[in-house]
Structure 1
Amino acid sequence: MNRKILVLPAVVGLLAPVLAACGGSDSGSSSGDAIAVGTTDRFTATKDAPAPLDPAYAYDVGTWNILRQTVQTLMIQPKGEGDPVPEAAQSCGFTDSGNERYACKLRDGLKFANGDKITAADVKYSIDRALALKADSGVFALLSTIDTVETQGDNEVIFHLKTADATFPYKLSTPVAGIVNPDDYEKNKLRDGFDVDGSGPYTVQTEVKNDEIVKATFTKNPNYKGTLKVKNSKVDMISYPDAAAMGKALDKGDIDVMTRTMSPAQIQKLSDSTDNDEDLVEMSGLEIRYLAFNTNAPSVKSKAVRQAMAQLINRGEIVSKVYGTQAEPLYSLVPASITGHSNSFFNKYGEPSNAKAKALLTAANITTPIKLTLHYTTDHYGSATKKEFEILQKQLNDSGLFDATIEGSPWATFRPAEQKGKYDVYGMGWFPDFPDADNYLAPFLDKDNFLGSPYHNSKISNTLIPASRREADRIAASPDLTAIQDIVANDVPVLPLWQGKQYVAARDDVTGTAYALNSSSTLQLWELSRGVSG
């Protein structure tokens, strides 16, 4: 039979899978052959990005999904969602009323996979290293509220923060805060290539061709001590050039599980299928897609141009023609299911209108049609991205106000070019580092933002973001979060498009798929095992 596993609406702290029919449970053997997992994520080392898997550099969902299996963090997001819980730590918590001093005690007997003992000094080394290297990926900014890291003996680490940060426990659950061995990771240099060493639930060996991982083999780490129950002994992650090739591998039995990114057509076919051998798992997701702007570029430097684009783009048409029920229009950087969300773009622009867009440009004395190129990545977010950008191009050009072209590039060249400001307008996706509104705002709008955007609003960075972080009760932070979203809708440094669900397809004898991905698109390979076909 075809089975779906649905997740309750993604309200933070309330997420929990609801299983229909059989399968997807925690049962299953930890023995047997390796479970083969397919992905279209590409893991490439280039001249511009020679250290894709160094925790101090990596900052995309694909590389993080390798690091989350192998590099341990003090905190971790729990299986059923909610607030982060201790992982390498035995306990962690704020020790002051102002949320500016955060202390962690390490779990007894922690070791790296090679048997070396882990001490508080290793934690300090790892955090200080990421901050000092200040990699151009921008991932270090997740730790930007840290002032100093103090150790007390071998087992206690104290973080002194520059300012209150109620989201700090979440940040300690991200790979940039991963604990690394000083013997393997130099203090002043990123670790090039694809070697990863840590104390997580697995060790990893990579098969590399042409400076790209084609297969990563995760083997259960016998020295692992943490909260996770590892339900298999080995997982092979195999990278495919596209969704079609990955789908064929599942059909042939070459892989057991198919993860991101499946095409909309594949998902629909699996959803409609009565095939007894393959199951589709549907989960709530917090992925968003958006257009980003180099606000210093002549073509889009005028706010009126960006506002006109916001007034013209028809999100509903994009969703219906490309993604169907697998996505929904998004009118803010913050997804609708996250506390603090506001429909700021809809509130300001309403329904798409050529007349209103023309009035915006006329008032700013902008000559039309405006020539610009929309850039997108051909391989990072799935094959549907091209069709999405063809529709965006048509919407802009049909208005008569724009003369837009589109250009696609592989992620290995797209991301460095975007970081260097070579694109005026470009499409990006965001898979949250942690499920909080702050992580949909600060990474784009604070200083050292991961886009390298020249846009800066002092009220956002100096007042509103710090104020929102002082509120441990995230509902109480909503007024500040809404104010940020309203400014973004007015200035349009980024233009949100849609938010999507996420899916896993698996052969019938694989269990644990209900938890294979969490709401932040974290791949949890340790949940997979083999059971009895249902």
Structure 2
Amino acid sequence: MNRKTLVLPAVVGLLAPVLAACGGSDSGSGGGDAIVVGTTDRFTASKDAPAPLDPAYSYDVGTWNILRQTVQTLMIQPKGEGEPVPEAAESCGFTDTGNERYACKLRSGLQFADGDAVTAKDVKFSIDRARAIKADSGVFALLSTIDTIETQGDNEVIFHLKTADATFPFKLSTPVAGIVNPDDYDKGKLRDGFAVDGSGPYILKADTDGDEMTKAVFTRNPHYKGTLKVNNDEVDMVSYKDADAMGTALQKGDIDLMTRTMSPEQIKKLAESPAGGDIDLVELNGLEIRYLAFDTTDPAVKSKAVRQAMAQIINRNELVSKVYGSQAEPLYSLVPASLTGHSNSFVNTYGEPNVGKAKALLADADITKPVKLTLNYTTDHYGPATKQEFEVLQKQLNDSGLFDVTIKGTAWDAFVPAERKGEYAVWGMGWFPDFPDADNFVAPFLDKDNFLKSPYSNSDIIDTLIPSSRREADRQSATKSLTEIQDIVAKDVPILPLWQGKQYVAANNDVTGTAYALNSSATLQLWELGRGASS
């Protein structure tokens, strides 16, 4: 099979002009067979997480990509990146000089997929519901700066904030702020299962096998009114057990496009294939990061010196080179290098990997060597290379003679509950941003009600630096506060950043819109896909 590679220029995105989409559900080419998309994301309704698709609970990239197609938000990140623009809203903006009062006027004629009118009260219900339920996923924390929500008539919603928050429009573009029908969602509890009822561009029908959704069928919502141009009538998303099975399905023509998560080997093979074939590989700018998280109360890593020694030993360049090659870059801060506010704090603090310095750190703290640790990782959520990544980390730490590390892999549906119950001392995670701003690589990990349930708490970060950074509408002006936060993280190491990665889509070349299939926040934009002549 011949293949060709289409590599897009890096999206300097956030500084680029906004290319906002326009139109509605009656726009686009439509027609033709359903476009079939493959994914290795798994969607399970388990005893510990029975409501995976409830906007008040969902907080991972896979389930959010289901909700982005079906649940409408007041704001949305535009097609060409940039500041969020109105979606369910006709207009939104701060109405006071202190940026603590944010008002939105709803688009006229909004309807849920069942034809019920969408009103300001429905918006208030939906967002207040997520804030009140406070699901253990921690997603409600995105709405933490809201004090009260007021409605005026059927079409105006006013948010009164506790403190200035320049990132608030971004937060209103995330699924936790999605508008749901009060007739279908209980105010005080989560909605179990895989049903979703919203006013977004698609209606969801879930095919299930026991407690797992095996296929999500998205059909165009005839009642949708918003800014999105929907270029198809149906998209089917099929879950595969691994990247190899998904790749085979693309080669056989069972699917038209594959995305999360291809293996490094698949991407390399597609990139090296001759041009002019029938599959396109699209390389997209991304903000995905990977990191190690610590339970700073666990005896194994309670001493800051242990965490610092790990930061001093781990060789990110070697890790990326051996596992991901050109598909990732070493990361020396929680904030990716491409975002305003990034600082290479771990380089500034630790310099190059150095076993001697790590040994001195442990000796000064009277830590018995070798330090015994288990590094936990998930086997089926971040792609097939995760095990190899942890094998490299294990070898680096053990070769130092200062650590005795074992590694343990667990399936995602068991991994997440175990992490939330505090069963791990050290565990590996990935982060796909809720929105493309440095705040979203800081607050979710370090603020009150952080989604990791981390016991680490720094009053300067929580009470001063995060609020200070959010007061700056000009994000460049927030750099000082953000740099201080990153320097504190490098010193205390409650989290150890490892690498940031690119994104890839592989598709049959009669599929159009693949250049916008994912934005930099890993949002799957299925409405962009269509069928047409080979590019």
> TM-score scaled by structure 2?
0.97
Counterpart position of 2:10: 8
Output the CA distance in 1 between the equivalents of 2:262 and 2:86: 33
Counterpart position of 1:372: 373
CA positional deviation for 1:28: 7.6
- Structure 1 41/299 Cα, relative in aligned 2: closer, same or farther at 3 Å? same
1:151-197 Cα offsets, whole Å, 9 max, x none, are 00100000000000000000000000000000000000100000001
Counterpart position of 1:187: 187
The answer (yes or no) to whether the contact 1:506–1:513 under 8 Å persists in 2 is yes
CA positional deviation for 1:10: 3.6
1:27-73 Cα offsets, whole Å, 9 max, x none, are 98311010000000010111100000000000000000000000000
CA positional deviation for 1:150: 0.2
Output the CA distance in 2 between the equivalents of 1:55 and 1:187: 12
CA positional deviation for 1:3: 3.0
The answer (yes or no) to whether the contact 1:134–1:140 under 8 Å persists in 2 is yes
- Structure 1 28/511 Cα, relative in aligned 2: closer, same or farther at 3 Å? farther
Counterpart position of 1:501: 502
Counterpart position of 1:512: 513
Matched residue type, 1:219: T
Question: Secondary structure of the equivalent of 2:271?
Answer: helix
Output the CA distance in 1 between the equivalents of 2:522 and 2:399: 36
CA positional deviation for 1:16: 8.6
Output the CA distance in 1 between the equivalents of 2:345 and 2:400: 23
CA positional deviation for 1:12: 1.5
1:470-511 Cα offsets, whole Å, 9 max, x none, are 000000000000000000000000000000000000001000
Output the CA distance in 2 between the equivalents of 1:5 and 1:368: 48
Counterpart position of 1:144: 144
Output the CA distance in 2 between the equivalents of 1:73 and 1:16: 18
Matches within 5 A, 1:203-222: 203-222=203-222
Matched residue type, 1:393: Q
The answer (yes or no) to whether the contact 1:8–1:16 under 8 Å persists in 2 is no
The answer (yes or no) to whether the contact 1:111–1:224 under 8 Å persists in 2 is yes
CA positional deviation for 1:98: 0.7
Counterpart position of 1:22: none
Matches within 5 A, 1:9-28: 9-14=11-16
CA positional deviation for 1:8: 2.4
Output the CA distance in 1 between the equivalents of 2:358 and 2:12: 34
Aligned length: 525
Output the CA distance in 2 between the equivalents of 1:127 and 1:512: 32
Question: Secondary structure of the equivalent of 1:8?
Answer: coil
1:468 aligns with 2:469: yes
Question: Secondary structure of the equivalent of 1:163?
Answer: coil
1:252-277 Cα offsets, whole Å, 9 max, x none, are 00000001100000000000112611
The answer (yes or no) to whether the contact 2:28–2:229 under 8 Å persists in 1 is no
The answer (yes or no) to whether the contact 1:289–1:428 under 8 Å persists in 2 is yes
- Structure 1 79/390 Cα, relative in aligned 2: closer, same or farther at 3 Å? same
Question: Secondary structure of the equivalent of 1:241?
Answer: coil
Question: Secondary structure of the equivalent of 1:280?
Answer: strand
The answer (yes or no) to whether the contact 1:28–1:530 under 8 Å persists in 2 is no
Larger CA deviation: 270-279 vs 513-522: 270-279
The answer (yes or no) to whether the contact 1:29–1:531 under 8 Å persists in 2 is no
1:489 aligns with 2:490: yes
Counterpart position of 1:527: 528
Question: Secondary structure of the equivalent of 1:2?
Answer: strand
Counterpart position of 1:86: 86
Matched residue type, 1:247: G
Output the CA distance in 2 between the equivalents of 1:188 and 1:16: 38
Question: Secondary structure of the equivalent of 2:475?
Answer: coil
Question: Secondary structure of the equivalent of 2:442?
Answer: helix
Output the CA distance in 2 between the equivalents of 1:211 and 1:80: 37
Output the CA distance in 1 between the equivalents of 2:255 and 2:28: 18
Output the CA distance in 2 between the equivalents of 1:265 and 1:71: 35
1:98-153 Cα offsets, whole Å, 9 max, x none, are 11000000000000000000110000000110000000000000000000000001
Q: What 5-or-longer segments of structure 1 have no aligned partner?
A: 18-26
Question: Secondary structure of the equivalent of 2:166?
Answer: coil
- Structure 1 181/299 Cα, relative in aligned 2: closer, same or farther at 3 Å? same
Counterpart position of 2:24: none
Matches within 5 A, 1:332-481: 332-481=333-482
Output the CA distance in 1 between the equivalents of 2:18 and 2:506: 19
RMSD: 1.2
1:343-387 Cα offsets, whole Å, 9 max, x none, are 000100010000000000000000000001000000000000000
Output the CA distance in 1 between the equivalents of 2:93 and 2:120: 16
The answer (yes or no) to whether the contact 1:4–1:280 under 8 Å persists in 2 is yes
CA positional deviation for 1:532: 1.3
Question: Secondary structure of the equivalent of 2:160?
Answer: strand
**Identity across the alignment (%):** 76
1:207-249 Cα offsets, whole Å, 9 max, x none, are 0112111100000000000000000000000000000000000
Matched residue type, 1:14: A
Counterpart position of 1:21: none
Question: Secondary structure of the equivalent of 2:159?
Answer: strand
Output the CA distance in 2 between the equivalents of 1:335 and 1:523: 20
Counterpart position of 2:115: 115
Q: What 5-or-longer segments of structure 2 have no aligned partner?
A: 20-26
